[in-house]
């Protein structure tokens, strides 16, 4: 059960990080495009956008939780749990970015939920 807490924290932080990076590009750098002729100013723009920086930090912190999870559980148990991120990503994208959440996507999310539930019942201990 301790491993599951670390896994969930890692997944949530990765998703928050991805959301912040997407938000940074959508609302901070909407017309931004990487151009090989001006890489330095491009990277400067990216790494000085607060939402992108916070997103990168969130993703980095999630790695610490992931390391803790792997110290408590088998990789074959922990790694499939990352698929919980598909669920939170789809919902957050729908809520905040008005992305489509079609019946096919919802069906896929339900299948993922069932799979994650079954995996959680077979927790491997280290």
pLDDT score at 7: 94
pTM: 0.79
Looking at beta carbons, which pairs linking 29-36 to residues 24 or more positions away fall under 8 Å? none
DSSP letter string, 67-112: HHHHHHB-HHHHHHHTTHHHHHHHHHHHHHH-----HHHHHHHHHH
Q: What is the pLDDT of residues 3-18, one digit of tens each?
A: 889 999 999 999 999 9
Distance CA 32, CA 46 (A): 9
pLDDT score at 125: 55
Instruction: Check: CB of residue 47 under 8 Å from CB of residue 70.
Output: no
Q: What is the pLDDT of residues 31-77, one digit of tens each?
A: 666 665 666 777 777 778 899 999 999 999 999 999 999 999 888 88
For residue 59, what are its two tokens? 């993703």
Q: What is the pLDDT of residues 76-110, one digit of tens each?
A: 888 888 888 888 899 889 998 899 999 998 899 88
């Amino acid at each position: 059960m301790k491993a599951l807490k670390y896994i969930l924290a890692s997944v949530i932080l990765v998703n928050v990080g991805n959301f912040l990076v997407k938000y940074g590009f959508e609302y901070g750098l909407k017309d931004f495009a990487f151009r090989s002729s001006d890489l330095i100013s491009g990277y400067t723009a990216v790494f000085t956008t607060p939402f992108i920086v916070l997103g990168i930090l969130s993703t980095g912190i999630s790695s610490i939780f992931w390391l803790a999870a792997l110290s408590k559980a088998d990789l074959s148990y922990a790694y499939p749990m990352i698929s919980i991120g598909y669920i939170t990503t789809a919902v957050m994208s729908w809520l905040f970015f008005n992305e489509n959440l079609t019946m096919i996507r919802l069906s896929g999310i339900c299948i993922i939920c069932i799979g994650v539930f079954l995996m959680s019942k077979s927790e491997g201990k280290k």
